[in-house]
C-alpha cells in the first residue's frame, strides 16, 4: 500500500486550517487517515506549523512520500533536512511573539491609573486663565478697531463741515430758477 503524508483541510470556508496526516494515497483529501502528525494554519502571521518530528521521521523512514506542500512545510521545520542528512536541520520556522498575559496587562493598567495624578481642578483653572488671556486680547483688538472707526468718523465729519461752511455762489440759484422757467 502506498502511503502519503498530505494535508487534510479543516476549518471554515475562508479560514483554512490543515492537519498534516499520514494516509493511504488512494483516500480522498479529507478521508480517513492512519495518523495525524501535525497542524498547519496559514492565515495567522507568521503561519503556525507544528510537526511531531519523531513521527514524521518514522513515516519518512518507512517510505511515506510527502506531497509538495507537506515537503515545503517539512523543509521549514527542518524535518526534511534531518531525513535527508542535509545541513540546516534546525529549519527556518518563525515563531510568533508570545502574547502578554491578560491578567498582568490588567494589573499594570490599574496600577498606572492609580499612580496617575488627579488634576481635574487645576486643569480647569489653567483653562480659565487661558480663556481670560484670549478674551483680553480680543477686547484690546476690538478697542483698537473702535478707536480707528472713531477717527475715521471724525475725519469725515470735519470734511462735511468744511463743505457746509464754504459760501455758495449767488449765481447758482438764479440759474437753476431760470432753467426751470424756460422748460
Q: What is the pTM of this model?
A: 0.53
Burial class (CB in 10 A: 0-12, 13-18, 19+), 71: middle
Q: How many angstroms from the chain centroid is the CA of residue 168?
A: 80
9 and 73 in a single domain? The answer is yes
Which residues form the domain of 147? 120-182
Query: How much is the pLDDT for 117?
Result: 74
Q: What is the pLDDT of residue 58?
A: 94
Q: Which residues contact 23 (CB under 8 A, 6 or more apart)?
A: 3, 4, 6, 8, 31, 32, 33, 34
Residue 70 sits in the same domain as residue 137: no
pLDDT at 74 over 80: yes
Is 12 part of a structural domain of the chain?
A: yes
- For residue 23, give the H/E element and its range: strand 15-24
pLDDT tens by residue, 110-147: 888 888 777 655 566 667 778 888 888 888 998 999 88
Helical (H) or strand (E) element with 61:
helix 53-61
pLDDT digits (tens, 9 = 90+) for 95-105: 777 788 888 88
Rounded to whole angstroms, how far apart are CA atoms 83 and 80? 5
Residue position matching grid coordinates 480680543:
138
C-alpha cell at 56: 514524521
Q: Which of 84, 111, 134 is the last residue of a domain?
A: 84
**How many structural domains comprise the chain?**
2
Residue 114 inside a domain? The answer is no
Amino acid at each position: 500500500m502506498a502511503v502519503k503524508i498530505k494535508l487534510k483541510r479543516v476549518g471554515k470556508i475562508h479560514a483554512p486550517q490543515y492537519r498534516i496526516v499520514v494516509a493511504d494515497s488512494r483516500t480522498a483529501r479529507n478521508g480517513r487517515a492512519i495518523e495525524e502528525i501535525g497542524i498547519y494554519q496559514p492565515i495567522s502571521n507568521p503561519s503556525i506549523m507544528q510537526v511531531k518530528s519523531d513521527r514524521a521521521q518514522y513515516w519518512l523512514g518507512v517510505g511515506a512520500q510527502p506531497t509538495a506542500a507537506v515537503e515545503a512545510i517539512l523543509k521549514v521545520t527542518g524535518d526534511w533536512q534531518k531525513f535527508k542528512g542535509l545541513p540546516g536541520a534546525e529549519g527556518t520556522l518563525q515563531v510568533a511573539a508570545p502574547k502578554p498575559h491578560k491578567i498582568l496587562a490588567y494589573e499594570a493598567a490599574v496600577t498606572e491609573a492609580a499612580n496617575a495624578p488627579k488634576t481635574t481642578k487645576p486643569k480647569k483653572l489653567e483653562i480659565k486663565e487661558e480663556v481670560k488671556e484670549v478674551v483680553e486680547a480680543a477686547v484690546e483688538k476690538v478697542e483698537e478697531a473702535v478707536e480707528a472707526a472713531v477717527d475715521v468718523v471724525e475725519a469725515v465729519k470735519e470734511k462735511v463741515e468744511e463743505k457746509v461752511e464754504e459760501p455758495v455762489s449767488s449765481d447758482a440759484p438764479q440759474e437753476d430758477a431760470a432753467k426751470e422757467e424756460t422748460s
